[in-house]
Amino acid sequence: MRNRRPAVIPRLLTTAAAVLTTLALLAACTGDEPEEKKPDRPAPEGSWSPVGATDAVVRTDQVGYATAETKIAVLLAPRKADGATFVVERQDSSIALRGKVGADRGAWSRRYPATYPIDVSGLRTAGTYRIRVTGGVSAVSSVFVVGASKELFGQVAADTVDFFGVQRDGADVLSEPIPRKPSHLNDAKATVYEAPDFADGDNLASGLTAVDGAPVVDATGGWFDAGDYLKFTHTTAYALTLMLLAERGGSTSIGNGQAIEGLAEEAAFGVDWLDKMWDESTKTLYLQVGLGSGGADGLIGDHDVWRLPEDDDRASGDGKQFLRNRPVFRANAPGEEISPNVAGRVAAAFALAAQVEVGSDPTAARAHLDAAATILDLAGDEDYGTLMTALPRDYYPESSWADDLALGATELARAGIVIGDPRATTWAGQAARWAALSISADRKGPLNLYDVGPLVDAELHALLQEIGKPVAGVTPEALVADLKARLDTGVAAAVKSPIGAAAPITSDDFSSKTFGWSAVAALYHRAADDDTYDAFGTAQRNVALGTNGWGLSMIVGVGSAYPKCIHHQIANLSGSLTGTGKVATGAVMNGPNASSAFRGLTTSSTAKDCTGLDVSRFDRSDARFVDAPHAYSSVEPAIDFTATALIAVVLQARI
């Protein structure tokens, strides 16, 4: 459970050319579809025949489907319709495909007591289509695209990179897609403080104490973590690792970011801030910039005020000193041990930076390799106990660390090989030992902020193939088996879901975990050269991009229906509230959540009013989706969510 801000609820609320023009997806007008707002992209030309009365809904992937992949839509029916049939129509009303709906998967909700998969995998020709269902119920889908995966998902990848631009802090902010002003310039001379004591949630038990003798820190730049303005080394390193994996080229690489617009520049921006968080001279890693909540001594924290980030540098009044001059907190005292989860993921990010830089800037690559090696050496590798993530730790209660260390060592070994560092063999051995320990923990979840094990399996497998000889501790077969075991767990969960989702819709981080499952399937395919789980991975991407019960894409600006009133201060105060134009393009939402997660939420008095998409008629008794600025349980984006989606769509584009 993420529990991102436990004490904030009452305060912050906190390929033919024609195909390439259809990424916006033209929506059919049916009585039970959510109101749809299309992004500012070209729509298909011409018009489709009018839609008559309907009483059911068909959900499709709003980005579209690759020509060769499995393509499953979902019918939500108000009654049993086991004999229903469907046709797939072209724009000229000709029929591209006919068939029968699949077996009933069970009830979605009381309003929709039956759900049926609609297999349109027979569509192999690029174009635009829609599905019409008859026989017991009637429904017409939105228009969807079939096209080249590189084109469809390459654009989504570029969109997710745009969101990192929205999240920029410091002097080098961007004017698109939402106008920004430089922010938190006072971070250039930040004071380092001891870790706070907390009384209730993230409320302080007492004031802050400066670290005696600590240097002033330049903490400018970096990315805001989510809808707030805190900056965390823990989440930044995770997001940056996935971005650099997407950027890194080569035949054994996960991605090739040269084809993703803006990725190299944005990743470099993130690396620059992570450099500032590591003080090589004192061997100190800084963990966090900003204070979540106040509470003690009348102090006001980041989560206590809904405002634009540029307001903080000139914040005045009682209790606002830590908005104006934000504190920095350390991950370790100089030269002392670093929590292994943080050390491993920061080492991975720096080692990946070295791999990306080695051809263009070998001096920077060497510096990042050495920084990664030093940080990994400072990690504790025994039973560490309570791990450090953020202050308070409840924001990100991570429980695993062997996976982080294994990933750090793996990327160091891969960097060592390309740079020619003789320590590469030692790092490979460390990676194998920690990977074996990670596998022995028997974790069976998807890739996400709390579990990078699937990346370890794939990256270490590629490393062992490159080395070409056994490394004590783990075998390539064991790494593939771990990916497979995870996927078997995901498939078993998806079979029980009426929409085929492996992630539970009643828990936090639904979108991130759903994209994470898609990524695991693609990583398995690459490592095992086996397409057994491709359809499962595609289905998880489909769920995140529209085949969920609410018919929403969980990425702002992507698809035909997506949240427009998100829990994001910049988007709310400086952006468009209509769903088009100046929106936080590429932002990945938390997603649906347990009904109980929305109790007691109130909107900040300084937030702009916004009427979101009303999808309440698709809610279940146990789960809801709320599109409103206060509903962080559904519509707060985060950099870790967005980075997970980025790597998932990059992998999908390369299958």
- Regarding predicted confidence, which is higher, 633 or 24? 633
Would you say residue 123 lies in a domain?
yes
Would you say residue 199 lies in a domain?
no
For residue 252, pLDDT over 90 is answered with no
Would you state the structure tokens that stand for residue 372, as one six-digit string? 């990664």
8 Å CB contact between 553 and 514: no
Q: Could you tell me the residue range of the domain that residue 68 belongs to?
A: 17-152
Give mean pLDDT, residues 131-148: 96
pLDDT score of 383: 62
* Position 434 confidence tier, pLDDT thresholds 50, 70, 90: very high
Lowest mean pLDDT among 328-332, 383-387, 569-573: 383-387
Q: What is the pLDDT of residues 563-621, one digit of tens each?
A: 999 999 999 999 999 999 999 999 999 999 999 999 988 888 999 999 999 999 999 99
For residue 385, pLDDT over 80 is answered with no
Would you say residue 598 lies in a domain?
no
8 Å CB contact between 578 and 606: no
CA 207 to each of CA 321, 532, 599: distance values in angstroms, whole numbers, following the listed order: 12, 56, 31
Would you say residue 583 lies in a domain?
no
State how many domains the chain has. Answer: 1
CA dihedral 25, 239, 203, 601 (to 10 degrees): 10
8 Å CB contact between 626 and 636: no
* Position 381 confidence tier, pLDDT thresholds 50, 70, 90: low
Of 542, 558, 526, whose CA–CA distance to 494 is shortest?
542
Give pTM, 2 decimals.
Answer: 0.93
Would you say residue 84 lies in a domain?
yes
Q: What phi, psi does 551 have (nearest 5°)? A: 65, 35
pLDDT score of 654: 73
pLDDT score of 44: 44
Q: How far is residue 549's CA from residue 270's CA, in Å, rounded to a whole number?
A: 35
Would you say residue 422 lies in a domain?
no
Give mean pLDDT, residues 400-425: 97
State the DSSP code for 614. Answer: -
pLDDT score of 257: 67
pLDDT score of 297: 87
Give mean pLDDT, residues 263-270: 96
Percent of the chain with pLDDT over 90: 85
pLDDT score of 354: 98
Would you say residue 343 lies in a domain?
no
Q: What phi, psi does 336 have (nearest 5°)? A: -95, 175
Percent of the chain with pLDDT over 70: 91
User: Which amino acid makes up residue 347?
Assistant: A
Lowest mean pLDDT among 16-20, 69-73, 285-289, 447-451: 16-20
List the Cα angle 480/481/486 in 5-degree steps. 100
State the DSSP code for 116. Answer: E
- Residue owning tokens 């008559």: 52
Q: How far is residue 374's CA from residue 371's CA, in Å, rounded to a whole number?
A: 5
Q: How far is residue 449's CA from residue 512's CA, in Å, rounded to a whole number?
A: 9
* Position 258 confidence tier, pLDDT thresholds 50, 70, 90: low
pLDDT score of 115: 98
pLDDT score of 531: 96
8 Å CB contact between 201 and 394: yes
For residue 355, pLDDT over 70 is answered with yes
Give mean pLDDT, residues 192-220: 94
Would you state the structure tokens that stand for residue 51, as one six-digit string? 């839609």
State the DSSP code for 529. Answer: T
Q: What is the CATH number of the domain that holds 45?
A: 2.60.40.10
pLDDT score of 613: 96
Q: How far is residue 618's CA from residue 548's CA, in Å, rounded to a whole number?
A: 10
Would you say residue 176 lies in a domain?
no
